[in-house]
Amino acid sequence: MNCVMYVETKTRSIIKAISWRILATLTTMTLVYLFFHRLDLAAAVGVLEAFIKMVVYFLHERVWNRIKYGRKEIPSFVVWFTGLPLSGKTTIANLVYEKLKKDGIKVQRLDSKDVRSLFPEVGYTREERNRHIKRVGHLVSILERQGVSSVASFISPYKESREFVRKLVRNFVEVYVKASVEACMKRDKSGLYERAIKGEIKNFTGISDVYEEPVKPDIVLDTEKISPEIAAGIVYDYLKNRFIKNGRL
């Protein structure tokens, strides 16, 4: 026996709402006609009833929009993906970002490639990398204070800069996207790792520069064992349980 799951579409919901309104109005008209045996009166009452109820519903919604009772605030947060180059950070972060957007969460996507294009003069020494991550940390902290969450994916190889960002924001979620250098090299279509091994790329994380693994990350995703979709689901469920589902002031 096949088990089939159906999902209510927005179009179906709209059609159901309209059909219910028509049915309710026709019911009112029918009752008026049965009591008074006047078709003109039934039609007038039906039209008037439909109009009045739409106005009342509008006013009812406006009043409840001003009432805070029963509302749960979803706090803004920063999801910080860290890991070796080509460990899967960007792919997973993109999937999580799309899930959050579908939930109507105010969220901003920040990726190392996009942000670095805004600051082309930034180098790759330890000092320059730390300065760059701290700059991003200030940016996500501003967004957080404005009620906007962030999904950020940066190699961020050093503990000190990641801890700087953690202390800067209120709700920091560190996601360690774990993968060995060998696994990352297999995914490397552009030959970056090979160029780094040859010495053509300096300060390349995992080859000519160190990656300091997070000591106590909130989430560890081993991308050698799970797919990006499963990994994104793990992060999304964590965020939902910690922030979205429960909500807190």
List pLDDT tens digits, range 95-112.
999 999 998 899 999 998
Residue 56 has phi, psi (to 5 degrees) of -60, -40
The Cα–Cα gap between 197 and 201 comes to 8
User: Distances from the Cα of 158 to the Cαs of 81, 86, 121, 129, in angstroms?
Assistant: 13, 17, 20, 8
Residues in the chain: 249
Is 95 in contact with 232 (CB distance < 8 Å)?
yes
Residue 76 is predicted with a pLDDT of: 95
Query: What is the CATH code of the structural domain delimited by 78-244?
Result: 3.40.50.300
Is 157 in contact with 129 (CB distance < 8 Å)?
yes
Report pTM. 0.73
The Cα–Cα gap between 20 and 233 comes to 37
Residue type, 243: F
Average pLDDT value for residue range 54-63: 83
Structure tokens at 214: 């997070």
Other CB atoms within a 10 A radius of the CB of residue 112 amount to: 19
Q: Which residues are catalytic?
A: 156
Which regions of the chain carry the CATH code 3.40.50.300?
78-244
Give the best-scoring range by mean pLDDT among 22-36, 59-73, 171-185.
171-185
**Percent of residues in the chain assigned helix, strand, coil, to nearest 5:** 55, 10, 35
Ramachandran bin of 141, using left for φ above 0, alpha for ψ from -120 to 50, beta for the remaining angles: alpha
pLDDT digits (tens, 9 = 90+) for 119-149: 766 789 999 999 999 999 999 999 999 999 9
